[in-house]
A and B are shown apart, each in its own frame.
Chain A
Amino acid sequence: MLALYLVLTLLLGWRVLSVQVIHAGQYRVLAARQTRRQVNLPATRGRLYDRSGDPLAMSVAAATIYADPRMITRAGADPRRMGRRLAPLLDMPRPRVERLLREDTGFVYLGRQMPSRVGSRVAALELPGIGVLEEPARVYPAGSLAAQVVGYVGTDNVGLSGMELQYDDVLAGRNGLLRLEEAPGGLDITSARREVRAPLPGSDLVLTLDREIQFTTETALRRAVDRYRAVGGSAVVLDARTGEVLAMASAPGYSPEDIERADEYARRNRVVTDVFEPGSVNKVITGSAALEEGVVTPATRLMVPDHLQVADKEFTDSHSHPPEPMSFADIIAESSNIGTIKVAQRLGQRRLARYLRRFGYGRPTGLGFPGESSGILADVSDWWGTSLPTIAIGQGVSASLLQVAGVFQTVASGGEWVEPTLVRGSTDGPGRLDPAPEPKRRRVVSRRTAEQMARLLVGVVERGTGTEAAVPGYRVAGKTGTAKKPSETTRGYEAGAYIGTFAGFAPAEDPDLVVAVALDEAEIIYGGVTAAPVFSEIMTFALAHRRVEPSDPVEAVAPGGAWTVAQPDG
């Protein structure tokens, strides 16, 4: 009997040895796995400021509440009772909470990024299998302001669009880590060692946007879209000297809280993502090229009929008129298609194509904005009979509104194209700014040509198609455009669908601001009627806001003054 007992004891000892030492490996791994928890310590995402330091996007502390339904079952807790206590705090119907608590899983979210006070109240209940994590929420203090530019983040605080996406790696920072050991129910095992890797906060970005100009731009656009029953409208405001984007907006827009309900069209920053055939504003490129290449001067007179047959296509002016002699200045001021085509024919395909590219068509602007489009500019070897006249007046070529604004910025800054920018720099504390790299610059036409073209564009506003764009006290240069929209379904153009444009700069004698406005399918098609007043509204505000000195009114009317239009008749 004793012998039997000793044998059994040896067996027992062997078994203990086996479990504790010989085959301990996998059990030890599983044991460690069940107690060890890694708690993600989210890094604070950097803020986005407007140019004067007002926050456009920031992260605030928030609580994410989750449940481990399996643990609830193991703890023998009653999901019904727990649901009754949690539902009012989570602001969720009780049956839904209860259903989540009964799911056959080890992890389920009950609420993400709830106010911190909700988190602390849930934690205070000390319910088994219910946990609270800190997970910052992204808020946009300016609401819908510049929403399409700023963009948005997903619930896990990763940038999904706009600047939030483009600069995600700068803003995100690096998450920290807390390693600890936990008992079921989330009890902290006090005897276990804790390991902490602190999170590294993201950098803040200072944008070039000016809150006030942005607001005015959005308001003016919204009103115009309503008034002219347009599908939408876009506008961009640039600093003429530096290429900084001061405002960039599209209507309709969206409110960040309602991002889910906003449609794709409203979410896009259409100033850079959408392209259109620019129409008559393109005559600025054709005209600048012709002046630079010396094929015309502002005073050059041409005989202009109201229609012209080129290859298999007949081109017309927008208003019929008998053949008449027109100066090049009149052609631009009156936006004559036939006159522009005649000038373009003197210039030739090759040279026109080269200038289109130099003015920034068919290539990225360098802004790098997510979803940016370069537009479509066919290689000159692919041009056919009607390409030259078509492209000269801004059809058969497409560009984004930002590219169009770039053309006017080039003329405004004396013939030098400047890469547009949205970021002034990054900052890791108040008062310190690590400036963004200097923008690229490119000479496109000579200062003389740019100044001549500027004078012609003043004529557009003072006596041509763009009088609605005038700004009291300032001399404004600009160009209207009314372009047919290509059909989305067939070759050719959509009947009755136009994009009305106005782009220009002021003050003409020392340009400070460039504004470009486009209205999509407005009831009144002419850009000079619809887009020009929006331009005027934005420009009027922006000039005053930036305290730009008004143009000298005496100078403006003085005969032969440097900035009066060269009168073709005198």
Chain B
Amino acid sequence: MTPARRTSPELRMVAVCAGSLFVLGMVMTFSASFVSSTAETGDPFGIVTRHALWCALAVPAGYAASRVQPRTWRRMALPLLAFALLAALLVLVPNLGVSANGSRRWFDIGPVTFQPSEVVKLGVALWSAHILARAWPRLRAGDVRSLLVPVAPMLFAAVVLVAASPDLETAFIVAVAGGVPLFLAGLPLRLVAGGALLGGLGMWSEIVGREYRQARIEAWFDPLAYYDTIGYQTSQGFFALASGGWFGVGLGQGRGKWLYVPNAHTDFIFAIIGEELGLVGGLTVIALFTALGVAGVRITRRAADPFGRLLAGAITGWIMVQAFTNVGSVVGLLPVTGVTLPLVSFGGSSLFVTAVAIGMLAGVARSLAPPGDGEDGPPRQLRLVGSEEMAG
């Protein structure tokens, strides 16, 4: 993130945290991928090069998103959502979508793959915020019907569509991205509880209905007992983390990425961070996300208009929950999931969409500060922090 003209502490925090995570992601993606990249393509830089290309697209896109007027986003909300849902529907068609690990989640477009469910998250967040902000006066008047229609049915449809791929974890995050605006717009707690219950039941039936999910849950409690099969990934994650100890085995020195930890540069990059940079590195990542979250919550609270508020809340909720889910599944707090660590993991669609979302959050943050305050703010300081992070 380049320094903004009008900066607030929140904006700076978002920029610093996101920037640090980006840089860390670049470094760790290379460290975690050079073995598997060599094994697959013969080129140790193959994967990190693609990651860097996506970063080169994502960072300007995020910056642009932070500069665009909110009304431009609002105009784009419906087309984006429509596009995302159509793509999410088409990806289910067997000959169009690419499947891996039992799920059909990707489009293969030339050199890159594209995952519609990532765009659904942004589409849902943006569109829900837009619709609810438009209905704001009625909502203030306690119009529950305006609150629920059309956001709730649309959200339900989006969640079901993503869950059908099947990708329950991302569906959950989509639900968060749409649910947070609903909650902020005054959804009664009993309805939130009801929705959660309904969602829980839906998930339960999904879990019971799909054998591979059930097995994942069992392996969650005792990964070593399922070492040869579904406990393998968690076990290898634990091995890597435990090998790291307090301060890690050193950047590039880890053993886990030597084809032991599956998805080392994507879903399980946190295990590699823990192994090479130790508990210190792992806690730093958690701290960065927490700081991002705190900044996001403060932006949400202090947003100048309902749209900004709802959007900031949706994006913050989504990124926090996704980060928590990812790290939680690596350290065994949750069963193994297929979600990436936002901004850090390799994964083009995720990286790009997350960067745009962070940019929007920054855009909302920019509108917090009164005009004139912090003009010609301290870019020096930002650069300093940025370079420190890079040195670390």
Contact = CB atoms under 8 A, between A and B. Distances in A.
Interface of A: 1-2, 5-6, 8-9, 11-13, 15-21, 23-25, 27-28, 30-32, 34-35, 70, 181, 183-185, 187, 189, 191-192
Given A12-B286, A12-B331, A19-B242, A35 B294 contact: no
Given A19-B238, A24-B242, A192 B255 contact: yes
Contacts of A21: 245-246, 279
A488 B360 CA distance: 102
B335 interface: no
Nearest to B254: A191
Interface of B: 35, 39, 224, 228, 235, 238-246, 252-253, 255-256, 258-260, 274, 278-279, 282-283, 286, 289-290, 293-294, 297, 320, 324, 327-328, 331-333
Contacts of B274: 16, 19-20
Nearest to B317: A1
Contacts, number: 108
B245 A35 contact: no
B260 A35 contact: yes
A458 B279 CA distance: 96
A185 B259 CA distance: 9
Closest 5 CB pairs of A and B: A27-B242, A31-B239, A183-B258, A24-B242, A15-B331
A19 B297 CA distance: 30
A191 B320 CA distance: 35
Contacts of B324: 5, 8-9, 12
A19 B259 contact: no
A20 B242 contact: yes
Contacts of B293: 2, 5, 9
A18 to B, nearest CB: 8
A189 B327 CA distance: 27
A226 to B, nearest CB: 61
Contact of B255 (A23, A25, A31, A185): A31
Contacts of B260: 34-35, 183-184
Interface centre among B35, B252, B289, B333 (most CB of A within 10 A): B333
Given A19-B238, A21-B279, A27-B239, A189 B331 contact: no
Given A9-B293, A20-B244, A28-B243, 14 more contacts: A5-B320, A15-B331, A15-B332, A15-B333, A17-B279, A19-B238, A19-B242, A19-B274, A24-B243, A24-B245, A35-B255, A187-B35, A187-B258, A187-B259
B259 A184 contact: yes
A2 B255 CA distance: 37
A12 B283 CA distance: 9
B283 A16 contact: yes
A18 B238 CA distance: 10
A25 B239 CA distance: 10
Contacts of B252: 191
B333 A12 contact: yes
B215 to A, nearest CB: 17
Nearest to A29: B242
A17 to B, nearest CB: 6
A9 B286 contact: yes
A13 B332 CA distance: 12
A4 B312 CA distance: 18
B238 A9 contact: no
Nearest to B301: A2
A189 B279 contact: no
A5 B238 CA distance: 24
Contacts of A18: 331
A364 B210 CA distance: 77
Contacts of A31: 239-240, 242-243, 255-256
Contacts of A16: 241, 274, 279, 282-283, 286, 327, 331
B238 A27 contact: yes
Contacts of A20: 241-242, 244-246, 274, 278-279, 282
Contacts of B244: 20
A34 B239 contact: yes
A570 B37 CA distance: 105
Given A9-B286, A34-B239, A19 B332 contact: yes
A28 B275 CA distance: 11
B240 A12 contact: no
B169 to A, nearest CB: 16
Contacts of A25: 242
B258 A35 contact: yes
22 contacts: A5-B293, A6-B290, A12-B286, A12-B324, A12-B333, A13-B283, A16-B274, A19-B238, A20-B244, A21-B246, A27-B238, A27-B239, A28-B239, A30-B224, A30-B235, A30-B239, A32-B243, A34-B260, A35-B258, A70-B228, A184-B258, A189-B255
A80 B239 CA distance: 33
B297 A27 contact: no
A11 B279 CA distance: 14
Contacts of B286: 9, 12-13, 16
B166 to A, nearest CB: 22
A467 B333 CA distance: 99
Contacts of A11: 333
Contacts of B320: 5
Contacts of B245: 20-21, 24, 28
Given A13-B286, A19-B242, A187-B258, A2 B331 contact: no
A23 B238 CA distance: 10
Contacts of A15: 328, 331-333
Contacts of A34: 239, 260
Contacts of B246: 20-21
B200 to A, nearest CB: 17
B281 to A, nearest CB: 10
Contacts of B35: 183, 187
Given A19-B241, A21-B246, A191 B253 contact: yes
Contacts of B258: 35, 183-184, 187, 189
A12 B282 CA distance: 10
